Amino acid sequence: MTTGNRPTFAHLAPLLALLALLVWYGSTFREPGGRAVELVAGTLIAPPKPLPGFRLVSQGGEEVDNRFFEGSYTLLFFGYTHCPDICPTTMSLLNQVAAELKGRPEAAGATRFVFVTLDPERDTPAFLRDYLAYFNPAFEGLSGDPAEIAKVARSLGIAWMRGAETGDGGYLIDHSASILLLDPAGELVAIFSPPHRADEIAADLLTLYEASR
């Protein structure tokens, strides 16, 4: 029996080796001084990716731009407050991450948790504030013009689309479940894909925090 033009293992071996290298590179990079940094759960973006210029609205009603994310690490999640499953589950998990960091106050103080709505039609700043306070009063929310939200979300690889209508006249939104990490320069430095574990995300944050000191 002949294999014809079907690829054999010998043909696939170089491709498999390349894929393994890419997976390794996605979780490891080197600081300028040459020190290797390896994450448990996150995929590193090296070099970090800048965000496009934007203007959004904070949960306090203030207009903010890229400077909003500067000065600390930020765990960023895109969702909407009427989400029945992924969003409340993720915000509860991020509250667990915050609890994991409490034993390291210097790292906890250098970390923020920000929720960006993909549904600004319903998620006003005040609505966001009340929603997030249920999970953690320190959590912050951003709303604003749909085009501005879309610009930031797309630059970060977030996919979403309006889904099925609900019985109460509302609607669902299908969206990515990834948690993003911005560095103190306000640039994308890591992505946490589901399934998520709070202890692993906290461990990766501590690794990056220590590497930046």
Structural domain contains residue 6: no
More confident residue, 61 or 17: 61
Structural domain contains residue 67: yes
Structural domain contains residue 7: no
From the CB of residue 101, how many other CB atoms can be counted at a distance below 10 Å? 21
Structural domain contains residue 204: yes
Q: Report in angstroms the alpha-carbon separations of 66 from 16, 73, 134.
A: 39, 14, 26
Which positions ≥6 away from 178 have C-beta within 8 Å?
157, 158, 191, 192, 193, 194
Structural domain contains residue 60: yes
pLDDT digits (tens, 9 = 90+) for 132-163: 999 999 999 999 999 999 999 999 999 999 98
Contact 188, 51 (CB under 8 A): yes
Report d(CA 12, CA 17) in Å as an integer: 9
Report d(CA 181, CA 177) in Å as an integer: 13
pLDDT digits (tens, 9 = 90+) for 76-96: 999 999 999 999 999 999 999
What does pTM read for this prediction? 0.82
Q: Report in angstroms the alpha-carbon separations of 97 from 22, 68, 100, 121, 200.
A: 28, 21, 5, 29, 9
H helices of the chain, where? 9-27, 86-101, 105-108, 125-135, 146-155, 198-212
Structural domain contains residue 174: yes
Residue span of the structural domain in which 86 resides:
39-212
Structural domain contains residue 128: yes
- Count the domains in the chain: 1
pLDDT digits (tens, 9 = 90+) for 105-128: 888 889 999 999 999 999 999 999
For the domain that residue 114 is a member of, what is the CATH number? 3.40.30.10
Structural domain contains residue 30: no
